[in-house]
Amino acid sequence: MNGFLVFPIIIPLIVATLALLFRKSSVMQRWIGVTGMVILLASVIVLFRDVYVDGIQVLQLGDWDAPFGITLVGDMLSMLMLGISAVMGLIIAVYSLYDIDKERERFGYYPLLHILLMGVNGSFLTGDIFNLYVWFEVMLIASFILLALGNSKNQLQGALKYVIINLFSSLLFLFGVALLYGMTGTLNMADLAQRLPEVENVGLVTTVSMIFLVSFGIKAAIFPLFFWLPASYHTPPVAISAIFGGLLTKVGVYALIRVFTLLFTQDIGYTHTILMWVAGFTMVIGVLGAASHYEFRKILSFHIVSQIGYMIMGLAFNTALGLMGAIFYVLHNILAKSNLFLISGIAQRLLGTFELKQMGGLYKHYPFLAVLFMISAFALAGFPPLSGFWAKLTVVKAGLAVEAYVLTATAILVGLLTLFSMMKIWLTAFWGTVPEKGVPEHFGKIALFGAGNLYIMVVPVMAVAGLILLVGLYAQPLLEVCLIAAEQLLNPSVYIEAVLGPQ
Amino acid sequence: MKSLILHTATRLMIGILILFSLFLFFRGHDEPGGGFIGGLVGAGAFTLYAIAFGTDLTRKVLRVDPITLIALGLASLVVSGVIPLITADPFLTGKWLFLEWGNSDIKLSTPLLFDIGVYLCVVGFIVTVIFSLEEEN
């Protein structure tokens, strides 16, 4: 038993409660919001050490033994996801200090951000499939409000699509859980993993796995269920876009990895082949969508879809190398993608627009911002020695190892196309000439670190760019940890034993 | 709303409704009832008051901002979960304290605290919704 496991869930709850109590004071909100994220990060680091040293950690909530109570399980995958979520939480909280207006603060931006993180962390930690559903709901309700906060017309349009499709996905999830419970009489994931192979009707288990694929696939925005994402993610303030684009879809990916390694491994020939097809199409369609758009955040939104394909590809191979690549890819992508969103926010502050056609001259006037963009964009496209290179290399190596040549070739080609659309942003917004009209007065006059507090937005971006460089230049330790996570996933008996005790 | 019948009835009803909501709340300890349903009835009382006398008066009657009620409810939930951590039990483990008072037993427990939290959250949430719907016009 490890009592610490509950902290990544209750710290955001406590922080949200405090922020709600002090909601009248903007200063208190900000302090509570940022401090809470620091404490969260610290607690995750402590937990990470425990898991790294002692293996999978388990906590039976309320002292009700598994499989009857709700179990929290922290394995290496959970820890990596928690770690990245806490890092991004802190980054976003700092960025929000400048990006989020007083009006949104007054309507509870900080409590909602923490509740969102509570939902995300809960999803990563829970060892109970129904509880996973509950955490998904916590996360979604917070995200609905964050998306709609501000009430502008296109925001409500985006939020409506997001809400409807996500409610549908939750409904499917619930169907799947009900069917699982009907077949096995349990909801605990470790117990399910033990009982599912004994179910005689293998066809029904595969059907349920497909229900889960569609449900989590909607949340992860895989082909052909991704259309809601580019329609909604570019509407809220940048800080919110960044945490959504970075973190939320990856929760769907996490859930896919979890159920397709722990629960649905009976008919791999069928389920994982479907995953491979899905991965290929997701990559290609996403990147083509990105190539055809000229709005900064829309391009990035389509890239989220495309990159999800790589993660699903790693999962589909079902080998240690493939899973390691998928997990590494998730971590790298959260960093690179969120950072690009954050940079788009700074560019918008300077140029007053997200439309590439009305942007230009950023390189001439703000070379440092251009460097930051280049690090993140090249990382996303997979240039050595940045984080994306190692992520792509691992996935491609895994693909060659299982002789999936077509899919691997697709992955490499999509990498090139990614570079193309990053170049499109680079050529217009950064290298292009300053547009003749429509440029705000302050463009080129305010400095990134001068008066005007713009540095509050630049420093988090620098921190993430630093992390991308660190992961790129010093990839080995992280790759090793990802390998530990992958091996734990491929050997579910360790997980089962940790939860249910020695068999 | 200006209606003599509604005003008079509300004045009579509100006390009964709140008493009934508390009755449901405490009954939930061992029998059907509890924080959620109690909270619903309690919120019903304030909703009725808001319809009859308007939101300004209801805010005065309620004394605290309904959003603060939600926050206090959440705080109560957290505290009930954290108490068992003191004795190194897992989060949310039920802790009980039995007292004797005259001839009756009093059972104090962390589940009771949890239920109070639920009650406050439900009342706070519904009243917030009703207020924002009423005040928009």
pLDDT tens for A34-45 read 999 999 999 999
The Cβ-side half-sphere exposure at A22, using a 13 Å CA radius, reads 15
Sort out which chain B residues have CB atoms less than 8 A from A10's CB and list them: 78, 81-82, 91
Cross-chain residue pair A63–B90, CB shorter than 8 Å:
yes
Say if CB B58 and CB B50 are below 8 A apart: yes
B79/A contact by beta carbon, under 8 A = no
SS3 for B100?
strand
B85/A contact by beta carbon, under 8 A = yes
Give the whole-angstrom CA distance, residue A480 versus residue A120: 24
Of A17, A23, A63, the CB nearest to B89: A63
Give the whole-angstrom CA distance, residue A299 versus residue A422: 9
Contacts of A169 (CB under 8 A, 6+ apart): A214, A215, A216, A218, A219
Residue B108, Cβ neighbours under 10 Å: how many? 12
Q: Which residue of B has its CA nearest to A65?
A: B90
Q: Which residue of B has its CA nearest to A107?
A: B67
Contacts of B105 (CB under 8 A, 6+ apart): B98, B99
Of A17, A20, A62, the CB nearest to B94: A62
Instruction: Please state the three-class secondary structure of A33-68 as a single string.
Output: HHHHHHHHHHHHHHHHHHHHHHCCEEEEHHHCCCCC
Cross-chain residue pair A63–B75, CB shorter than 8 Å:
no
Cross-chain residue pair A10–B93, CB shorter than 8 Å:
no
Q: Which residue of A has its CA nearest to B88?
A: A3
Cross-chain residue pair B74–A59, CB shorter than 8 Å:
no
Q: Which residue of B has its CA nearest to A60?
A: B90
A489 to chain B, closest Cα gap in Å: 26
Question: Tokens in use for A318?
Answer: 């079902």
Cross-chain residue pair B90–A1, CB shorter than 8 Å:
yes
Question: Tokens in use for B52?
Answer: 């009859």
Q: What is the mean pLDDT of each run of 10 residues along chain B (137 residues)?
A: 88 93 90 92 94 90 91 94 88 85 83 93 94 79
Question: Tokens in use for A68?
Answer: 């009857």
Cross-chain residue pair B67–A14, CB shorter than 8 Å:
no
A163 to chain B, closest Cα gap in Å: 19
Of A116, A333, A336, the residue nearest A236 (C-alpha) = A116
Say if CB A223 and CB A278 are below 8 A apart: yes
Give the whole-angstrom CA distance, residue A459 versus residue B90: 39
Sort out which chain B residues have CB atoms less than 8 A from A6's CB and list them: 81, 90-91
Sort out which chain B residues have CB atoms less than 8 A from A3's CB and list them: 85, 88, 90-91
A62 to chain B, closest Cα gap in Å: 4
Say if CB B120 and CB B69 are below 8 A apart: yes
Say if CB A72 and CB A5 are below 8 A apart: yes
How many domains in chain B? 1
| Predicted pLDDT at A62 | 85
Residue type, A328: F
Write out the H or E segment, with its range, that includes residue B108.
Answer: strand B104-109
Distance of CA A13 to the CA centre of its chain: 20
For chain A, the first-to-last Cα distance in angstroms comes to 17
Give the whole-angstrom CA distance, residue A352 versus residue A346: 10
A488 to chain B, closest Cα gap in Å: 25
Question: Tokens in use for A266?
Answer: 């009976």
Instruction: Dump pLDDT digits (tens) for A110-158.
Output: 999 999 999 999 999 999 999 999 999 999 999 999 988 877 788 888 8
Distance of CA A366 to the CA centre of its chain: 29
B67/A contact by beta carbon, under 8 A = yes
Residue A273, Cβ neighbours under 10 Å: how many? 12
Give the whole-angstrom CA distance, residue B25 versus residue B31: 10
Helices (H), chain B: 4-27, 35-53, 55-62, 66-86, 110-136
Here the contacts of A440-449 (C-beta below 8 Å, separation 24 or greater) are A440/A350, A440/A351, A440/A352, A442/A350, A443/A350, A443/A351, A443/A352, A443/A361, A443/A365, A444/A361, A444/A365, A446/A350, A448/A346, A448/A366, A448/A368, A448/A369
Say if CB A491 and CB A80 are below 8 A apart: no
Distance of CA B71 to the CA centre of its chain: 13
B113/A contact by beta carbon, under 8 A = no
Q: Which residue of B has its CA nearest to A1?
A: B90
Sign of CA dihedral A254, A255, A257, A262: positive
Question: Tokens in use for A313?
Answer: 């590809």
Question: Tokens in use for A88?
Answer: 């991004």
A132 to chain B, closest Cα gap in Å: 18
Of A467, A461, A363, A360, the residue nearest A98 (C-alpha) = A461
Cross-chain residue pair B91–A3, CB shorter than 8 Å:
yes
Q: Specify the DSSP class assigned to residue A446.
A: S
How do strand B104-109 and strand B96-101 relate by DSSP bridges?
Answer: antiparallel
Of A1, A13, A60, the CB nearest to B74: A13
Cross-chain residue pair A59–B90, CB shorter than 8 Å:
yes
Which of B68, B77, B92, B114 to substitute to test the interface with A, most A CBs within 10 Å?
B92
Of B68, B92, B94, the CB nearest to A21: B68
| Predicted pLDDT at B137 | 52
Vertex B121 angle, CA B117 and B124, to 5°: 135
| Predicted pLDDT at A311 | 94
Question: Tokens in use for A399?
Answer: 């693909």
Of A112, A107, A99, the residue nearest A24 (C-alpha) = A107
Question: Tokens in use for A226?
Answer: 């991704």
Q: Which residue of B has its CA nearest to A20?
A: B71
Q: CB contacts < 8 Å between A and B, how many?
A: 46
| Predicted pLDDT at A153 | 82
A63 to chain B, closest Cα gap in Å: 6
B65 to chain A, closest Cα gap in Å: 10
Q: Which range of residues forms the domain containing residue B24?
A: 4-136
Rg (CA), chain B: 17
Cross-chain residue pair B92–A60, CB shorter than 8 Å:
no
Say if CB A236 and CB A344 are below 8 A apart: no
β-partners of residue A71 are A60
Cross-chain residue pair A10–B91, CB shorter than 8 Å:
yes
Cross-chain residue pair A16–B93, CB shorter than 8 Å:
no
Distance of CA B132 to the CA centre of its chain: 19
Question: Tokens in use for A139?
Answer: 């996360």
Cross-chain residue pair B82–A17, CB shorter than 8 Å:
no
Say if CB A396 and CB A408 are below 8 A apart: yes
B94/A contact by beta carbon, under 8 A = yes
Residue type, A165: I
Cross-chain residue pair A17–B71, CB shorter than 8 Å:
yes
| Predicted pLDDT at B30 | 81
Say if CB A390 and CB A331 are below 8 A apart: no
Q: What is the mean pLDDT of each run of 10 residues along chain A (503 residues)?
A: 88 94 88 94 94 92 86 94 95 91 86 95 95 94 89 83 91 95 93 90 91 94 87 87 90 94 87 92 92 88 91 93 95 94 90 84 88 92 88 93 92 90 88 80 76 84 94 92 94 92 79
Vertex A493 angle, CA A492 and A498, to 5°: 100
Cross-chain residue pair B90–A60, CB shorter than 8 Å:
yes
Q: Which residue of A has its CA nearest to B84?
A: A62
